[in-house]
């Protein structure tokens, strides 16, 4: 497929080869009218399908103000904060506005530094938390742009990793540990229960905070509303974005404990000119209320679909036995060969299925309400491309 010219726009990656005209449900249509089955859904954004009629109607009917100055009060801000806090793990009782995931992560790093008076962090090796300098420092950013001192914790995340972490935290200079509870960016890396459940007591013993980044995993992706719920763990802060609006508008949020909110209010900066734009807030409120109302049915469906995807993938003839890692509809197939994985993803795209590919891992993040016929058609196409 030829790569489209993009003379004025700066973009990473080499996959700007689809000129998207529209997207609906689990399908993306290009400018020539070609239809693609979307098993990526904007990377954990369109969790419940594209162009949802309820959210579209909400946008067209919106009669609220264009803009709210951050220093004013606005009832829908309080309403969205109340809704998010109601869904979040216990103890996270306050909410900061953000424009997206990176800003939410940045706010979490800021809160951790102000609250602990420390400047160091621990993050997972090769993680991704966004494209701001703080987020790139705790992520896999180039050394040239690292502005924070960050120690890397190497997976697997098991009892041994907890010991290695303890050695680092003992120096009592780490503000926070930041990680995705199940890492989408590391190809559905699933920590062992012992690791996750030992994490908070270990962090707190040494005065370190725990930030769980749910920007990608939030809102049902892993079969729980938040991936944190797979474990008995209460983070000090949690970031969310992406699927909060299902793609119909942009938003991010940081959820924090009461004392961390007080620190941010007294010593921090949570200004954000476009954080929680009124239209985005209206869409997020509608979406989060809908998710809340339908939570049980939606998550049960994720479990059923997840079992179907995994069963089908297990039955496929890969050249080498792949490792399949999954939670809900976050499904990684490590085919153990980077070139082969890239080739499969490209062939699938050319034939009409969109997948993500990270090194030797094919990553599938289909809509959580994709219908069975579409799931089957996409999986059949993948099978034909192997
Ligand atoms: C885990 C995680 N955190 C943060 C971000 C950054 O979010 P945004 O692109 O909305 O700034 C991403 C984006 O992919 C992400 O996957």
Q: Quick: pLDDT tens for 290-324.
A: 999 999 999 999 999 999 999 999 999 999 999 99
**Reported confidence tier of residue 184, pLDDT bands at 50, 70, 90:** very high
- Counting from 1 in the atom list of ligand 1, the atom nearest the Cα of 135 is 4
Atom 7 of ligand 1: nearest residue by CA position = 101
By C-alpha distance, which of 210, 265, 192, 215 is closest to 104? 215
DSSP β-bridge partners for residue 24: 27
What is residue 65's DSSP assignment? -
- pLDDT for residue 14 is more than 70: no
Instruction: Note the pLDDT tens digit of each residue in 20-30.
Output: 999 999 999 99
**Reported confidence tier of residue 197, pLDDT bands at 50, 70, 90:** very high
Mutate to test the pocket of ligand 1, among 97, 102, 274 (most ligand atoms within 8 A of CB): 102
- Render the burial of 66-86: b for 16+ CB within 10 Å, e for the rest: eebeeeeebebbebbbebbee
SS3 219: coil
Contact by Cβ (8 Å): 354, 361? no
Task: Tell me, in angstroms, the distance from the centre of ligand 1 to residue 45's CA.
Answer: 10
- What is the rounded distance in angstroms from the CA atom of residue 223 to the CA atom of residue 330? 9
36 versus 8: which is more confidently predicted? 36
* DSSP-derived pairing of the beta strands 174-179 and 149-153: unpaired
DSSP β-bridge partners for residue 209: 176
Confidence (pTM): 0.97
Task: Tell me, in angstroms, the distance from the centre of ligand 1 to residue 205's CA.
Answer: 29
Dmax over CA atoms of the chain, in Å, equals: 60
Cα-Cα-Cα-Cα torsion 224, 181, 286, 363, nearest 10 degrees, comes to: -80
Give the DSSP H or E segment for 342: helix 338-351
166 versus 12: which is more confidently predicted? 166
Task: Tell me, in angstroms, the distance from the centre of ligand 1 to residue 135's CA.
Answer: 9
- What is the rounded distance in angstroms from the CA atom of residue 86 to the CA atom of residue 297? 19
Instruction: Note the pLDDT tens digit of each residue in 97-107.
Output: 999 999 999 99
Contact by Cβ (8 Å): 312, 379? yes
Task: Tell me, in angstroms, the distance from the centre of ligand 1 to residue 102's CA.
Answer: 6
Mean pLDDT of the chain: 96
Burial class (CB in 10 A: 0-12, 13-18, 19+), 182: buried
- pLDDT for residue 3 is more than 60: no
Atom 13 of ligand 1: nearest residue by CA position = 130
**Reported confidence tier of residue 7, pLDDT bands at 50, 70, 90:** confident
Mutate to test the pocket of ligand 1, among 47, 106, 123, 130 (most ligand atoms within 8 A of CB): 130
Give the DSSP H or E segment for 211: strand 209-213
- What is the rounded distance in angstroms from the CA atom of residue 361 to the CA atom of residue 364? 10
Residue 31's CB: how many other CB atoms inside 10 A?
11
Stated length of the chain: 386
Give residues (CB < 6 A) around ligand 1.
Answer: 43, 100-102, 105, 128-130, 180, 184-185, 213, 215-216, 241, 252
Contact by Cβ (8 Å): 2, 17? yes
Give whole-number Cα distances, 63 to 53, 58, 75, 216, in Å: 18, 10, 14, 30
Task: Tell me, in angstroms, the distance from the centre of ligand 1 to residue 108's CA.
Answer: 13
**Reported confidence tier of residue 164, pLDDT bands at 50, 70, 90:** very high
């Amino acid at each position: 497929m030829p790569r489209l010219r993009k003379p004025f726009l700066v973009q990473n990656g080499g996959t700007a080869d689809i000129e998207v005209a529209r997207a609906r449900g689990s399908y993306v249509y290009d400018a020539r009218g070609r239809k693609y089955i979307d098993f990526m859904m904007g990377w954990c954004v369109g969790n419940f399908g594209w162009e949802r009629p309820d959210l579209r109607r909400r946008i067209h009917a919106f009669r609220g103000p264009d803009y709210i100055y951050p220093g004013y009060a606005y009832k829908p801000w309080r309403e969205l904060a109340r809704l998010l806090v109601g869904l979040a793990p216990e103890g996270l009782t306050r909410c900061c506005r953000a424009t997206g995931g990176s800003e939410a992560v940045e706010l979490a790093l800021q809160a951790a530094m102000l609250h602990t008076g420390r400047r160091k962090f621990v993050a997972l090796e090769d993680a991704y938390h966004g494209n701001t300098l703080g987020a790139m420092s705790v992520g896999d950013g180039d050394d040239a742009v690292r502005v924070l001192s960050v120690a890397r914790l190497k997976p697997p995340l098991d009892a041994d990793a907890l010991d290695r972490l303890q050695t680092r935290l003992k120096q009592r200079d780490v503000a926070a540990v930041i990680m995705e509870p199940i890492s989408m960016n590391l190809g559905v890396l699933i920590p062992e229960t012992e690791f996750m459940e030992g994490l908070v007591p270990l962090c707190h013993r040494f005065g370190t905070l725990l930030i769980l980044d749910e920007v990608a995993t939030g809102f049902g992706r892993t079969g729980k509303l938040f991936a944190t719920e797979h474990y008995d763990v209460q983070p000090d802060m949690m970031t969310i974005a992406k699927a909060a609006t299902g793609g119909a508008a942009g938003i991010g949020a940081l959820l924090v404990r009461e004392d961390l909110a007080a620190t941010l209010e007294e010593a921090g900066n949570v200004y954000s000119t476009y954080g929680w734009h009124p239209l985005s807030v209206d869409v997020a409120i509608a979406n989060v209320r809908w998710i809340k109302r339908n939570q049980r049915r939606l998550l049960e469906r994720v479990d059923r679909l997840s079992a179907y995807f995994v069963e089908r993938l297990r039955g496929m003839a890969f050249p080498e036995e792949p490792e399949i890692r999954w939670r809900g509809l976050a499904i990684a197939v490590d085919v153990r060969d980077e070139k082969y994985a890239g080739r499969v993803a490209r062939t699938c795209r050319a034939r009409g299925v969109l997948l993500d590919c990270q090194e030797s891992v094919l990553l599938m993040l289909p809509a959580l309400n994709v219908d069975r016929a579409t799931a089957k058609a996409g999986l059949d196409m993948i099978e034909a491309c192997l």
